[in-house]
Amino acid sequence: MTDILIKNLPIIVVLCPLITSLFVVLIPNIFFSWVLTTLSTFLTFLFSILLYQEIQIHSYISYALGKWMPPIGIEYIIDKVAIIPVIIISGISLIATIFAYKIMPEEIEKKSISKVYSLWLLAIAGLLGLVTTGDAFNLFVFLEISSLASVALVAMGAQKDKQALVAAYNYLIIGAVGATLYVIGVGLLYGITGTLNMEDLTNRISDLNNNKALIAGFGFMIIGIMVKAAVFPLHIWLPRAYAYAPSAVSVLLAATATKASLYILARILFSVFENSEDLINNTLLYVILPLSIIAMFAGTIMAIYEKDIKRLLAHSSVAQIGYITLAFAIGTKASIAAGFIHMFNHAIIKGGLFIAITSLGFYIQKRITINNLSGLGRTMPITFFCFVLCSLSLAGLPLTAGFISKLYLIKATISSDSIWIAILILISSALSVVYLWKMIEVMWMREGRKIVIKENPTIYLSLIFITFLNIYFGLDASLVVDGSFEAAEKLIEDLK
Amino acid sequence: MISSTIGIWNYWIVFCLMMIGLFLVIGRKNFLKKIVGLTIFQTSVFLLYITFGKIKGGTPPILNESIDTIYSNPLPHVLILTAIVVGVATTALGLSLVLRINSEYGTIEEDDISAQDLVDYHDDIETGKSVDLNFNQ
């Protein structure tokens, strides 16, 4: 029994939320649909932990779907790289689901809650499928499953604010164009190589250096994925979608959705196209590096001038994605590892910040702008204490997870002889303190109303847990750092 | 040169449709027309795949007695079957969003909607009407 389970783990991780999503929609009761969703995400997390242990032993698992052997059949690949986003997505979705229990019925009418949970699980399944699949076209299908489910989830925010509809619409259109561009790229590659399996694609590409269709296909794929990952000029959909989505959905999307696409970006750059070195080096140097540096500053400056807190956090996400792509763009082993470290840490930091801000929205029942934060630091000490800790982690103060990622990022830039990039990173981090301080100042220094708000344990428990993770991975980062370095080694080994 | 340009006329059709679709998505301000553009854009990609799969004189891939039969590649068609399903789902979701937008805003023109949104946004932030606290404890 356990043998069969272990053998089929790569597909079970994806199927577990996918199948439960079909059952959740049938349950009319809010509580039981939540219980089933939690159970499903918990099992998914458990399976990904099992998968992590398997990876420590075998370091590479290839699963042939339906016993059709790759490269003809669809293959699911879990290796030391893929396990990082799997753990991030399943872990964060468990925390977000527990958090959703109290928040969800506040913002969505009772009769549609079970449907929302169904979409919720569908989005998680799509994201997990995205990172586990080893087939380029299968990847597109999961890309669309996750993004259609997320669009519908964002649109559920319309009961609170009608702008959610426009946000969801823009997300849908931009996302669909991105996914279609990706399909064009896959089509061109299929036309010249005759395969869709990523590993097979890697081998067959090696004979085709400087083929124009190859370069065009690569461009289409990269741009398509960059849209989904919200890399700088293609990030337009992100702030609105995160700001107007229902609170629990913002937590889920902010912490997981772009991470999966960033992982796909890394995989296309360093694994699928490993044999076209000129192409990759030029792309990294002339496209991704400048865009990431602009993203770091543009995102931060937009955040400084923003007054709506959820949008502010979304703009800051754009900047943080900039750090991750910057780390990939430098292209050394240490920097790619730093990218993965920051991917993990950013998931727990942004998850924590969004949970803190949206539980605040639960208490004040309106859109959260900088003005109505005033004085709330004293009336809701637990929420704000966690909020401040997560903010410090985002700014990169020592003893927090954010510090570890900044440390490794700067170490990597210095060791690759690009001091000026390290300086730019430091400046942008310093600027991020401006918008964080702006919020903290209003909360703690300004006089608020003299009322006591009783904080709800079901809400702050998940917040405390995620804040604890921020501190824990700041004190003992060996788990994340080792995992990331192993992943980077795997990718670089591919590249050489 | 000319014969090879005309010889790949199917690709020309694909890329014309692709550009028309993309232009509609980017250039039009009407939400419904954007979806029409998106559908054209996606359809052009379906045609691209099907063009790849076709060989002149190729037959459907059914095993034949004679040795020198040329088979067309069936895989692109199957892929496109999947992509069509995805495209239909996208269009359906987009149209339902447009319906909801129309009933909430009373218009589906991007400019009118963003004008309305801008007013709401500044109302919320400047007048501070959202400061009122409402407790559910």
Write the residue in A158, A364, A454 that is nearest to B100 by C-beta.
Answer: A158
pLDDT tens for each residue of A426-455? 999 888 888 888 888 888 777 766 666 677
Q: Is the Cβ–Cβ distance between A164 and A155 less than 8 Å?
A: yes
Q: To the nearest 10°, the Cα dihedral for A198, A200, A202, A206? A: -160
Write the residue in B100, B130, B134 that is nearest to A369 by C-beta.
Answer: B130
Write the residue in A152, A166, A371 that is nearest to B117 by C-beta.
Answer: A166
Say if A67 falls within a structural domain. no
Q: Please name the residue ranges forming H helices in A230-332.
A: 237-244, 247-267, 277-283, 289-305, 309-330
Say if A187 falls within a structural domain. no
d(CA A473, CA A165): 37
* Residues of chain B found within 8 Å of residue A158, distances taken between Cβ atoms: 100, 104
What are the DSSP calls for A100-134, one per residue?
Answer: HHHHHHHHS-GGGHHHHHHHHHHHHHHHHHHHHB-
**SS3 state at A78:** strand
Global pTM value:
0.91
What's the Rg (C-alpha) of chain A?
21
Residues of B with CB under 8 A from a CB of A: 18, 22, 25, 31, 34-35, 38, 41-42, 45, 48-49, 52, 73, 76, 79, 82-83, 86, 89-90, 93-94, 97-98, 100-101, 104-105, 113-114, 117, 120-121, 124-125, 128, 130-137
* Residues of chain B found within 8 Å of residue A144, distances taken between Cβ atoms: 86, 89-90
Q: Nearest Cα to A151, choosing from A132, A178, A184? A: A178
Q: Nearest Cα to A473, choosing from A362, A346, A366, A370? A: A346
- pLDDT for B133 beyond 60: no
d(CA A348, CA A265): 21
Q: Range of A421's domain?
A: 276-496
Number of structural domains chain A divides into: 1
d(CA A183, CA A189): 10
Write the residue in A144, A166, A453 that is nearest to B101 by C-beta.
Answer: A166
Say if A41 falls within a structural domain. no
Q: Nearest Cα to A307, choosing from A235, A243, A223, A396? A: A243
Say if A300 falls within a structural domain. yes
Q: Nearest Cα to A82, choosing from A10, A132, A41, A136? A: A132
Q: Is the Cβ–Cβ distance between A474 and A352 less than 8 Å?
A: no
- pLDDT for B127 beyond 80: no
- Host H or E run for residue A148: helix A136-155
Say if A311 falls within a structural domain. yes
Look up the CATH architecture of domain B2-61+70-129. Answer: Orthogonal Bundle (1.10)
pLDDT score for A211: 82
Q: How confident is the model at residue B129 (pLDDT cuts 50, 70, 90)?
A: very low
Write the residue in B45, B124, B131 that is nearest to A180 by C-beta.
Answer: B45
pLDDT tens for each residue of A80-105? 888 999 999 999 999 999 888 888 88
What's the one-letter identity of residue B50? I
Task: Determine which of B18, B28, B55, B97 to mutate to test the interface with A (most A C-beta atoms within 10 Å).
Answer: B97
What phi and psi, each to the nearest 5 degrees, are found at residue B109?
-90, 130
pLDDT score for A281: 84
Burial A124-147 (b: 16+ CB within 10 A, else e): bbbbbbbbbbbbbbbbbbbbbbbb
Write the residue in B52, B90, B98 that is nearest to A148 by C-beta.
Answer: B90
Say if A148 falls within a structural domain. no
- Host H or E run for residue A464: helix A457-475
pLDDT score for B18: 92
Say if A111 falls within a structural domain. no
Among chain A residues, CA nearest to B121: A308
Among chain A residues, CA nearest to B49: A187
Residues of A with CB under 8 A from a CB of B: 106, 137, 140-141, 144, 148, 151-152, 155, 158, 162-163, 165-166, 168-169, 172-173, 176-177, 179-180, 183-184, 187, 190-191, 194, 196, 307-308, 363-367, 369, 371-372, 449, 451, 453-454, 456
Q: Do residue A141 and residue B134 have CB atoms under 8 angstroms apart?
A: no
Give 10-residue mean pLDDT values along chain A (496 residues): 80 91 88 91 92 86 83 86 91 90 82 89 93 91 92 88 89 93 92 86 80 89 91 88 88 89 91 82 87 92 88 91 91 88 91 86 72 76 86 86 89 86 89 87 74 73 88 86 86 68
- pLDDT for B125 beyond 60: no
Q: Nearest Cα to A283, choosing from A263, A266, A299? A: A266
Which ipTM value was assigned to this complex? 0.88
Q: Is A66 left (phi over 0), alpha (psi -120 to 50) or beta?
A: left
Question: Encoding tokens for residue B41?
Answer: 């854009």
d(CA A257, CA A357): 19
HEC-encoded secondary structure of A180-225 = HHHHHHHHHHHHHHCCCEHHHHHHHHCCCCCCHHHHHHHHHHHHHH
Collect contacts of B33-37 with beta carbons under 8 A, ≥24 apart.
Answer: B34/A173, B35/A173, B35/B91, B35/B94, B35/B95, B35/B98
pLDDT score for B132: 40
Say if A245 falls within a structural domain. no
Q: Nearest Cα to A358, choosing from A241, A245, A240? A: A245
For residue A203, CA distances in Å to A310, A383, B131 come to 45, 52, 60
- Cis amide leading into A70 (omega within 30): no
Question: Encoding tokens for residue A355?
Answer: 């949970």
Q: How crowded is residue A9: how many other Cβ atoms within 10 Å of its Cβ?
A: 21
The residue whose two tokens read 């042939």 is A64
Q: Do residue A165 and residue B125 have CB atoms under 8 angstroms apart?
A: no
